[in-house]
Amino acid sequence: MSRHVTFMTIDDAEHYTPEQRAEIIAAFSDIVFEVVVRRFKPDPDE
């Protein structure tokens, strides 16, 4: 059995308009947004 994992950001979802992307991002609470950003874009100084 094999697995495949795809990592994407909202910017990779080309079927959303810039306005829709902004609405989706705004729907996340600040704390959730911070966790996601830190999880997928770690601080290079760490």
Mean pLDDT of 18-34: 84
- State whether the Cα torsion 23-28-43-4 is positive or negative: negative
Residue 39's pLDDT band (boundaries 50, 70, 90)? low
Mean pLDDT (the chain) is 81
Start-to-end Cα distance in the chain:
35
Is the pTM value of this prediction over 0.85? no
pLDDT score for 3: 92
Residue 15's pLDDT band (boundaries 50, 70, 90)? very high
